[in-house]
Every structure is written in C-alpha cells, then in structure tokens.
Chains A and B, each alone.
Chain A
C-alpha cells in the first residue's frame, strides 16, 4: 500500500538531488534545470498532501508554482543569452562582474 509518506520521501530525495546539482555544477543552464527538479519535487509534495488532506488548495498552489517557473525560465534564459553575448561563456565562475 502506497501512503502519502512514500510520496513525501520521494520528493525529499528529488529535492536533495536538485540541491546537490545546484551547488556542484558550473554550467548555468544545468543549474537552472536542477532548480526545475527542486520545484517539481515541491509540486509532488503539494499534490500528495492535497490528496491526503482532501482539499483542492494545494493543487492551485502547484499552478502558481508552474506560473512562476515559466516566468523564471523566460527571464533567466534571456539573462543567460545576454551574458553569453558579453562573455562567450555561461560558466558561473565567470559571473563576477559585480565584484570590485
């Protein structure tokens, strides 16, 4: 029997993998994809608990998380294109223009 705890543990594992990827990778687009993995694990938590509690509000929150993820994808990828145009790289070690 699959209970809500299985889903919560699975989303915890996915969140930990996403955290590891965000902290270790250098390529900005891969970091971005790891953030998407983290957002999706949170979505899984929302839907599992929404079904467990018997309330629709958690699934509406998933909609807003998806909206914010779409907005983030548009703006973040535009930033990466602008950065690549200036530096010919999207390595996060080169993101040091605000240092003095």
Chain B
C-alpha cells in the first residue's frame, strides 16, 4: 500500500517537474510546480512530518507561488518563442545526467551513519510533531531563527526599494 502510494506520487511529481521545465507558457509551468509541491507534501506526511507538509502547502504552494503567478500576470508574458540558441541543450542534458549519476553513486556507496537517534515514531506520536519542531527551533536553534527573521526583513526592504520607480 505504502509502495503503491509512493510510486504513484513519485511518478506525478517527476512528470509535473518535467512539465515545469518544458511548458511554453509560464503559467502552465507555475501550475505544474504547484502539483510538484503538493506531491512533496504527500511525501512529508509519509515520512511522519505532518507539520512540514502543512508548511510546505502554506508557504510554498500558497505564498511563494502566489507571488510568482502574480508577477507572471503583471508582466503579461506571452508564449516562449523558439530559442535563439539551442546548442546549450545537449550540454545541459549531459550535466543533469552527470548530477543524477554522481548522486546515485553516492546513495549506493554506503549506509548513513549515526542512525538510531532519539526521535522515533513513538516519540512523534506521543509528543506531536509540532511540539518537537518547536522545542528544537526555539531552544537549540534560537540564534539562527533570529538571523532568519533579520534576513526576511532585509528582503522585504530590498524588494520595496527595487520595485519602486524612483528611489
């Protein structure tokens, strides 16, 4: 059952990711990207991380994709014309295949060490995933959290400054 769900969702994720790279209309690419994000949310649930699945749908499929679709509509882009230069395609294909080959080699090279940590399925069901995330984030990772908030503030100010007509 789990295997069927995994392979079905993986097929949908890979096909929609291919459509993201191949669609001529940017809006179709954006819609296929949302499908990929939803498939990844299914994987997060299968990996017993429901909070990450919720964040994936709300932040990625919600906020970031709304921003991208909004900009596509704002710029009113037409269909992509036939590219002027196509000699990069075989090189890019070779590079992507190389990435896949190297990662596949490393996956098959050995086992992950340091397994058997204290976060097991029983711990997740008894405490709840959100509480575990909250403890880790606000106790162990408090300083990176604050730095991330400063990064977001800088990004907001930068976006406003860049998109103003006259500074």
Give A66 to B162 CA distance when docked, in angstroms: 22
**A51 contacts B47, C-beta separation under 8 Å:** yes
B39-53 CB mask vs A (1 if < 8 Å, else 0) is 010011011110010
Determine the residue in chain A with the shortest Cβ distance to B46: A2
**A67 contacts B64, C-beta separation under 8 Å:** no
Expressed in whole angstroms, the minimum distance between the Cβ of A30 and any Cβ of chain B is 5
Determine the chain B residues whose CB is within 8 A of the CB of A85 once the complex forms. Answer: 165
**A20 contacts B159, C-beta separation under 8 Å:** no
**B68 contacts A60, C-beta separation under 8 Å:** no
Q: Is B63 an interface residue (CB 8 A)?
A: yes
The interface size of chain B toward A, counting residues with CB under 8 Å, comes to 83
Give A8 to B111 CA distance when docked, in angstroms: 12
**B77 contacts A27, C-beta separation under 8 Å:** yes
**B64 contacts A70, C-beta separation under 8 Å:** yes
Determine the chain B residues whose CB is within 8 A of the CB of A53 once the complex forms. Answer: 112, 114-115, 117
**A36 contacts B64, C-beta separation under 8 Å:** yes
> Given A14, A29, A52, A68, which contacts B17 in the complex, CB threshold below 8 Å?
A14
**B152 contacts A70, C-beta separation under 8 Å:** yes
A8-52 contacts to B (CB < 8 Å) = 8-10, 12-21, 23-27, 29-30, 32-34, 36-37, 40, 43-44, 47-52
Identify the B interface with A (CB < 8 A).
2-3, 6, 10, 13-14, 17-18, 20-21, 26, 29-30, 33, 36-37, 40, 43-44, 46-49, 52, 55-56, 59-60, 63-64, 67-68, 71-72, 74-75, 77, 80, 83-85, 88-89, 91-93, 95-97, 99-100, 103-104, 107-108, 112, 114-120, 132-133, 135-137, 140-141, 144, 148, 151-152, 154-156, 158-160, 162-163, 165
Q: List 24 A-B contacts (CB under 8 A).
A: A2-B3, A5-B108, A10-B13, A10-B14, A12-B99, A14-B36, A16-B100, A17-B96, A18-B21, A20-B93, A51-B48, A57-B140, A57-B141, A59-B136, A64-B148, A69-B60, A70-B155, A71-B151, A71-B155, A73-B67, A78-B159, A81-B71, A85-B165, A93-B85
